Amino acid sequence: MTAIKIDGKAFSQGLRARVASAVEVLKGQHGLTPGLAVVLVGEDPASEVYVRNKGIATRECGMESFGYKMPADTSEEVLLAKVRELNADPAVHGILVQFPVPDQISQQNVIETIEPAKDVDGLHPINAGYLSSGLDAMVPCTPLGCLMLVKDQLGDLSGKRAIIVGRSNLVGKPMGQLLLAENATVTIAHSRTQDLAAECRCADILVAAVGRPHFVQGDWVKPGACVIDVGINRIPAPERGEGKTRLVGDVDYDAAFDVAGSITPVPGGVGPMTIACLMRNTLVAACRQTGLVVPKI
């Protein structure tokens, strides 16, 4: 058996186009332009690229992009004051502080200062609580994107067995809640899980969010399973020249490809979905804050 390669890039382009169309309607019919504010503290080159790409995507969707760059020695007090200012700004419907933040700033304090309705990253404990209670939440972008890809492949997930390897607040736990809400039977595995390979072999849906290159082996995959690889790991690639690197996921892609029913590549799988879901979340946040019906996209 060989798997279907899930094209997250194409899917994300479709989602972004649907967001852009919905934004057009909001502007034309309600005079509302959704706005996303992104705050970057420090000069981490990878974070700078992420922030730039988010700004470009926001503008491409017809939304307002507000960017704030603060020096690496910014105090927590100053950053939180900025967040409160954005909380109070009616032109800003979504707020994202790019993580990691420098050591002098508590990431958790930042998360808890963002107004939950504007928390487009879905990390505020109120949103995590809403999600686990089956209520309207702002849902973290990466697991939301993963769910869209899984549903696109499998349709109804009722009764499917799912395993998520990794239990972070950003990916693993919300992924579990989303799959549970779709009536899947969910296992969340982590570093203390016993016989992880056997657990994985039972799963119709396998989501890997570990942060270890090629961690999930081909023979851990149940034949025909849908495999979603969240991992982004940079490894040396001497075959490309001295000092070169390449990105790989948490799944041994080539081995899993021969067993799975469908699988996301890295790059080009989950990654592009994350930014598209950020656009979707900003649109949803703008509608909810202004009492408009959230368009189906």
Judged by CB under 6 A, does residue 192 bind ligand NDP? yes
The two structure tokens encoding residue 51: 């922030």
Q: Which of 110, 210, 260, 263 is the binder for ligand NDP (CB under 6 A)?
A: 210
Judged by CB under 6 A, does residue 281 bind ligand NDP? no
How is the beta sheet containing 64-70 ordered, strand by strand?
64-70, 35-41, 94-97
CB of 297 to ligand NDP, least distance (A): 19
The two structure tokens encoding residue 162: 């799912």
Residue number, 85 or 219, with CB nearest to ligand NDP: 219
Q: Which of 52, 190, 240, 246 is the binder for ligand NDP (CB under 6 A)?
A: 190
Largest CA distance in the chain: 56
> What is the bridge-based pairing of β-strands 245-248 and 262-263?
unpaired
Would you please indicate which residues are annotated as catalytic (active-site) residues? 54, 98, 121
Number of residues that bind ligand NDP (CB under 6 A): 24
Judged by CB under 6 A, does residue 40 bind ligand NDP? no
Judged by CB under 6 A, does residue 211 bind ligand NDP? yes
Using DSSP's 3-state secondary structure scheme, residue 96 falls into: strand
Judged by CB under 6 A, does residue 274 bind ligand NDP? yes
The CA radius of gyration of the chain, in Å to the nearest whole number, is 19
Is the distance from CB of 55 to CB of 276 less than 8 angstroms? no
Interatomic CA distance for residues 200 and 185, integer angstroms? 13
- Among the residue ranges 51-59, 216-224, 234-242, 266-274, the one whose residues contact ligand NDP (CB under 6 A): 266-274
Judged by CB under 6 A, does residue 271 bind ligand NDP? yes
DSSP per-residue codes, 32-91: ---EEEEEEES--HHHHHHHHHHHHHHHHTT-EEEEEEE-TT--HHHHHHHHHHHHT-TT
- Residues 114-173 close enough to bind ligand NDP by CB under 6 A: 142, 165-168, 170-172
- Among the residue ranges 11-19, 28-36, 131-139, 186-194, the one whose residues contact ligand NDP (CB under 6 A): 186-194
Using DSSP's 3-state secondary structure scheme, residue 70 falls into: strand
5 φ, ψ (degrees, to nearest 5): -85, 115
- Residues 49-88 close enough to bind ligand NDP by CB under 6 A: none
Judged by CB under 6 A, does residue 187 bind ligand NDP? no
Contacting positions for ligand NDP (CB under 6 A): 142, 165-168, 170-172, 189-193, 196, 209-211, 230-233, 270-271, 274
